[in-house]
Amino acid sequence: MKFIQINVSLIWGVWHLPLWFMGATSQSQTNFGSFLIGTIAFSIALAVIRDISKSVFVCILLHCMINASFDITGVVMGFKSNMTTLLISLLIYLVYSIAKRKAPKNSLKVYSN
């Protein structure tokens, strides 16, 4: 897993840009820069989940659950909450990468043959 996730998250953020021009979306109520910070944070978290689970489907389910929870609760992510999410995601990535480096080669595999 590399820091290519930041490039992917920027593309992902631009992909969502049309939502700012639609009035009935949660994105239209927030700052695009703040959204990009949240996108980077979520991208890092999804990269760790993908690396652990070896499944894109788990990432898709998590993305759907988060979108649904925002729609149900009406939560709009602001700058502070996105920065907090980014710091937590970076901490998770750091802990995971250190654990992965120190562990024997086959100990972190979810599936074994």
User: Residue ranges of the domains in the chain?
Assistant: 5-100
Note the residue count of the chain.
113
Would you report the helix, strand and coil content of the chain in percent, each value rounded to 5?
75, 0, 25
Q: Give me the pLDDT at residue 57, please.
A: 92
Q: What is the pLDDT of residue 2?
A: 54
List average pLDDT for each run of 10 residues in the chain, which is 113 residues long.
67 86 77 86 87 90 85 76 86 86 66 55
Cα–Cα distance measured from residue 4 to residue 110, given in angstroms and rounded to the nearest whole number = 23
Main-chain phi, psi angles of 25, to 5 degrees: -110, 155
Question: Can you tell me the distance from the alpha carbon of 59 to that of 45, in angstroms, rounded to the nearest whole number?
Answer: 9
The Cα angle at residue 45 between residues 12 and 91, in degrees rounded to 5: 130
Whole-structure pTM value? 0.72
